[in-house]
Amino acid sequence: MQKATIVVHGGAGRIRPEFREKALKGVKRAAEAGFDTLKRGGSALDAVEEAVKVLEDDPTFNAGIGSTLTVNGKIEMDASIMDGKTLNAGAVAMVSNIRHPVTLARIIMEKTDHVFIAGSFAETIAELFNLERCNPITEDRLKIWKEYKTKAIEGTYPYLPKLTDLIKLLPELIADTVGAVARDQDGNVAAATSTGGLTLKLPGRIGDTPLIGCGNYADNDAGAVSATGIGEVAIRLVIAKTICDFMKNGLIAQKAAEKGIELVIQKQNNLPMGVIAVDKYGNPGIAHNSESLSWAMITSDNLKTIAGLKYPP
Ligand code: ASP
């Protein structure tokens, strides 16, 4: 049997002090759910889906229930999943009332001929496959959104028509995407990522999360990566695939993750990003240049759940 590993993240956004304990508990719970799946002989793909579902159900994180709102107060969630064994991938964008966008991404991968479906037909597919519906807006998220919206109206918060202008001010925003990467006992790797996007994002804006190679990538010949932070940065650097290429060329997951963040620092003005990775041998990797990154991991070497709000802790 090969080394089994799961690593999860709860986003690179700033974590308010009152959410710290909840975030830590949430990432641990997700890592444990994913690792249970691996222990029972489940695939890496099953494990990352399970882990991300737990995070989507946790209102502490900006994915599924508790997703953040667009500038006009709507929910537009994005998610993706990728199987490193086959390179099959599925992604959804701009869905608004699905409890588990990651499961819908898996349905796109397994039940359609496509990789990525956005908008209303993605909702139709959710209906066809009887996926659970929910209203993801929570009181806490609404409060944060109103706070930022008020600042935007007063001019103390930059509400600008161009996303590039918004990006400059993004460190002020709450953005807690979730993700998981795993390697199973058969040596297969997988990655899944899910988000409500960036607070006050423009309607129709799609970030890195559902873009294969940007927010998410998995390849048994390299490893798996899930990214979080400013989506536009991850898109420009194709960061998940780039880090997988570093692993393919021989770097262990930790070194590859660090090298990915180096690129962000050097080529993207140090805008906040975080990445988790697992290489094809099951070594975990975590790196970020954001103030915090909630994360948790378990490997079959010692079966301990370790977690933190920054890395190294
Ligand atoms: N990467 C996500 C996006 O840009 C946000 C996040 O990771 O918090 O949509």
Q: Is the per-residue pLDDT at 66 higher than 50?
A: yes
What token pair was written down for 36?
A: 């249970």
Asked whether the beta carbons of 35 and 6 are under 8 A apart, the reply is: yes
What Å distances lie between residue 21 and 15, 124, 139, 257, CA to CA? 10, 37, 19, 26
- Regarding pTM above 0.85, the answer is yes
Nearest to 106 by CA among 121, 96, 97, 117: 117
Diameter over CA atoms, the chain: 60
Residue 57 in contact with residue 103, Cβ under 8 Å?
Answer: no
Spell out the domain ranges in the chain.
Answer: 5-308
Nearest atom (ligand 1) to Cα of 232: 4
Distance 294 CA to ligand 1 centre (A): 14
Residue 175's pLDDT is 52
Q: Is 299 in the pocket of ligand 1 (CB under 6 A)?
A: no
Q: Which atom of ligand 1 is nearest to the CA of 215?
A: 1
Answer yes or no: are the C-beta atoms of 104 and 79 closer than 8 Å: yes
Res 71 pLDDT > 90: no
**41 pLDDT higher than 80:** yes
- The whole-number pLDDT of residue 58 equals 96
Please indicate whether residue 272, judged by its CB atom, sits closer than 6 Å to ligand 1: no
User: Rounded CA gap, 140 and 157, in Å?
Assistant: 19
209 lines ligand 1 (CB under 6 A): yes
Stretch (H or E) spanning 307: strand 306-308
Q: Which of 71-85, 103-117, 170-184 has the lowest mean pLDDT?
A: 170-184
How many other CB atoms are there within 10 angstroms of residue 115's CB atom? 17
Q: Is the CB of 175 under 6 A from ligand 1?
A: yes
Whether 171 has a pLDDT exceeding 50, the answer reads: no
231 CA closest ligand 1 atom index: 4
The pick from 61, 75, 177 for probing ligand 1's pocket by mutation, whose C-beta has the most ligand atoms within 8 angstroms, reads 177
- 13 within ligand 1 shell (Cβ under 6 A): yes
Catalytic entry in 5, 177, 242, 299: 177
pLDDT of residue 85 exceeding 60, the answer is yes
Whether 229 is in the pocket of ligand 1, judged by its Cβ within 6 Å, is yes
What class is the 5-308 domain? alpha beta
For residue 167, is pLDDT > 80? Answer: no
Residue 162 CB coordination number (10 Å): 8
A 10 A CB-CB count for 118 gives 16
- Report how far ligand 1's centroid is from the alpha carbon of 27 (Å): 17
Band of the pLDDT at 251, cuts 50, 70, 90? very high
Mean pLDDT (the chain) is 91
CA angle 96, 97, 103 (to 5 degrees): 95
What is the atom index within ligand 1 of the atom nearest the CA of 229? 7
Q: Any idea what DSSP says for residue 231? A: H
Whether 110 shows a pLDDT value over 80: the answer reads yes
Amino acid at 192: A
Whether 177 is catalytic: yes
Q: For residue 243, report the distance from its CA to the centre of ligand 1, in Å.
A: 17
Q: How many CB atoms lie within 10 A of CB 36?
A: 15
Is the shortest distance between the CB of 10 and ligand 1 below 6 Å? no
